[in-house]
Amino acid sequence: MYKLLFLILGFLFFGSPTEVFAQKKVPILVYHSIAQFTGHGQKELYVTPENFEMQVGYLRDHGYTLLTFEQWQNIDLVKKPIFLTFDDGYKNNLNVFKVFQKLQTNQFKPAGTFFIISDFIGRTNRLSSDDLKSLSKSGLISIQSHTATHPDLTETENLDSELRDSKRKLEKIIGKQVIAISYPYGNVNSRVVTETKKYYLFGLTTTPGPYIKQGIENEDYLLPRTYIKYSTKLNDFAKIVK
């Protein structure tokens, strides 16, 4: 009898057990090239600027808050947090900035994270140091690390240079702390996590699915991300971020 009464009172004051214990789902999306596909590279790693604009517009119109990893603590302070990440530092990621500028309003401030391969900066199809400086100063783009040369870290002996040197080079360019890294190919193991923790606060994989806080060991170094691809339609996008 007392047990039944306790359950009834708990439901009235706190809601159903599902509501009480449900964890917030935080989508972390990963993009690569934001450009028209012209036949070079993997088509699915492209998203056209038009489709990307529709996706960001969807987030704006449905009350999402776009965060960067410097704002990680805000996950529990906003209703619909989401992270947009972009790997490899392609020059065409300037289209991200253009879309953000176009869709920005007083109520909606888009933001994204560019994960940069530090030794590739300034190559023909990559962002330059000047690009990174101006993007970082805009307040719309966070510059973070994608290692120095983009190796599979689980097969790399000298992790120190890949993790430390990339961080230092990027920090020197933008004049800000670099606190997050995306693992090349999404590959990570316990050794990589141990070394990553020496320099970064966050490590990102390509394990699909939203982030749901579980309180497990090294959780912030095993963050999942979901690919947004060339073939991702707007209705598919809506299901991914839901």
**Residue 15 within a domain:** no
| 219 band by pLDDT with thresholds 50, 70 and 90 | very high
Q: What phi and psi, each to the nearest 5 degrees, are found at residue 223?
A: -70, 135
**Residue 150 within a domain:** yes
**Residue 111 within a domain:** yes
| 20 band by pLDDT with thresholds 50, 70 and 90 | very low
Q: What is the mean pLDDT of the chain?
A: 92
pLDDT for the residue numbered 4: 45
Residue-wise pLDDT for 37-52, tens only, equals 999 899 999 999 999 9
**Residue 9 within a domain:** no
Provide the domain limits for residue 233.
Answer: 24-241
Mean pLDDT of 54-68: 98
Residue 49's Cβ-count burial label (10 Å; 0-12, 13-18, 19+) is middle
pLDDT for the residue numbered 8: 43
pLDDT for the residue numbered 23: 78
**Residue 47 within a domain:** yes
Distance (Å, rounded) from C-alpha 21 to C-alpha 37? 44
Count structural domains, the chain.
1
Residue-wise pLDDT for 89-145, tens only, equals 999 999 999 999 999 999 999 999 999 999 999 999 999 999 999 999 999 999 999
Give the CATH number of the domain where residue 98 resides.
Answer: 3.20.20.370
pLDDT beyond 70 at 5: no
Percent of the chain with pLDDT strictly greater than 90? 90
**Residue 157 within a domain:** yes
Distance (Å, rounded) from C-alpha 227 to C-alpha 159? 26
**Residue 132 within a domain:** yes
pLDDT beyond 80 at 76: yes
pLDDT beyond 60 at 229: yes
C-alpha dist (Å) from residue 85 to 18, 153, 161, 205, 238? 31, 20, 23, 11, 17
